[in-house]
Amino acid sequence: MISLEPYHQTYTYDIGNNLTNLSHQANSSTWQQTIAIHPNNNRSTETQQSASDFDTNGNLLTLDNIGTLYWHYNNTLNKLTKADKNNITQYYVYDYQGNRVRTAVESDHQIQSQRGYLPSLELSTNQAKQQTSTLHIGTHILSESSKDNTKNHPRYQLTSHLQSNTLELDDKAQTLSYEHYYPYGGTAIIAGKDKTQVQQKCYRYTSKERDDNSGLCYYGARYQAP
C-alpha cells in the first residue's frame, strides 16, 4: 500500500530569476535548500558542499550518501564508485565527440549489467540474462525486454507537455508504471504493477535517462541531480 500525503513547496527567486531557496513542507518531513548567488552574475557561490568536493574545473566529486565521482580531462564523467558494501562501480564510455556510447556496472570485479548506445537504439543486458532494447522514434520511446529468448515484453511510454515519461503501458494497455515529478526533475511519486516493472523504467524527467546507481539524469554535455 502506498502512503500519500499533501505537501507544499515554495520556490524563491532573485531579481535575475535565479533560484535562491526551495522549501518543502509535509507531515512526514520538512526541509529547505538555500542557494547563494554571486551579486555580479548568475552563478551559485555557496552550497552545502565544501570546496574539497569539487575539482579544479568545478566538477562535483562526491554525491551525498551515494558515492564518489571521477572525471575525464575533458569534463566527461568517467566512473562512479558507490559508498556501500557491494563494491559497485559504474563506468561511462564516450566517443570522440563526447557522446555516451556505453555504460557498465561492476561489482567485485564482475560485470553486473551493461548498456550500449547506437543512433536511436540502445541495447542492454544484465547478469540475470535479461536483454532490453530501447528504440527512439521522434519524441516517442519503445522498450522491449526478454529473458532466455522468451517472449518480448514491450513498454510504451507516454509523455507530458515537458516530454517527461509519466505513464508506461504494456501491449494490452495495462499500466506498468506511473511517475509524477517535482519541478526541476525530482520524483514526487512513482508506482507500478510491481517493483520489478518500476525498476526497469530508464527514461524519466524530460525523457532523459536516469542512472540507477547515481540518480543523475544524462543531458549530454551535463548531468543533472534532480
Q: Which residues pair with 69 in a beta bridge?
A: 80
Cell of 207: 525523457
Nearest to 84 by CA among 100, 63, 102: 63
Assess whether pLDDT exceeds 70 at residue 48: no
State the DSSP H helix or E strand holding residue 206, giving kind and residue range, or none if neither: none
Assess whether pLDDT exceeds 80 at residue 50: no
Question: With contact defined as beta carbons under 8 Å apart, do 89 and 106 qualify?
Answer: yes
Sequence spans of domains, the chain: 1-48, 49-224
Q: In this predicted model, what pLDDT tens digit does every residue of 155-204 receive, in sequence order?
A: 999 999 999 999 999 999 999 999 999 999 999 999 988 888 888 888 99
